A and B are shown apart, each in its own frame.
Chain A
């Protein structure tokens, strides 16, 4: 079975632009979470979606938004990009929306804002 996939792999954007990152969960998984990993730091929780509804949100500005589609894939959108948004964006999927079920991470999208 395929693991979590993310696209694109790398992305370069200019300050003020908008970006959309995509994630496909493991087949059968209904939960998708997004994390931001700044270089040299641990991942920070941005959102969790389960059954197409937002279940949790981290401490990120409203410029960050996401959605989940009927096939459980997800998009993360970031508006008005800042230099500080440069990071590795990780998507993780899980069978359920809560509990200690393992979260399976994708390889990430490396976003560079210039």
Chain B
């Protein structure tokens, strides 16, 4: 079946450090890939997405590149801030299934200290 695997957290960083959160996927078809963020007490917000191989999604200083050869979509940010502390979810959806279904990873908690 379709699945997403993320690195386990928590990831603990100091402010201005470089961030990488690994994400790999298994899909029966050609997926679109997403990163969602969940701040404490809130719902999920789309952070960025990529719909085809070699696409780079970016938003708020975060980036991720769709690597079909390694089935990966790693999230990176050059300099994290305390306000980036949240849980990050990698997800995929398949086209041409007749409906929208997001398949999520288990999430990675990021803690950024001043």
Chain A interfacial positions (CB closer than 8 Å to B): 4, 31, 33, 35, 40-45, 48, 50, 55-56, 58, 90, 92, 94, 97-108
Would you give the shortest CB distance from A46 to chain B, in whole angstroms? 10
Q: How many A-B residue pairs have CB under 8 A?
A: 75
Given A90-B44, A106-B43, A107-B43, decide whether A48 and B101 contact each other with a Cβ distance below 8 A. yes
Q: Is the CB of B100 within 8 A of A97?
A: yes
Closest Cβ neighbor of B50 among chain A residues: A100
Q: CB of B22 within 8 A of chain A? A: no
B106 at the interface (CB under 8 A from A): yes
Q: Is B89 an interface residue (CB 8 A)?
A: yes
- Within the complex, the shortest CB–CB distance from A87 to chain B, in Å, comes to 13
A58 contacts across to B, CB distance below 8 A? 101
12 cross-chain CB contacts under 8 A: A4-B43, A33-B101, A42-B4, A42-B106, A42-B107, A43-B89, A45-B103, A48-B99, A55-B99, A98-B100, A99-B100, A108-B43
- Residue B26 CB within 8 A of the other chain: no
- On whether the beta carbons of A100 and B98 are closer than 8 Å, the reply is no
Closest to B89 in A: A42
Residues on B with beta carbons closer than 8 Å to the beta carbon of A48: 99-101
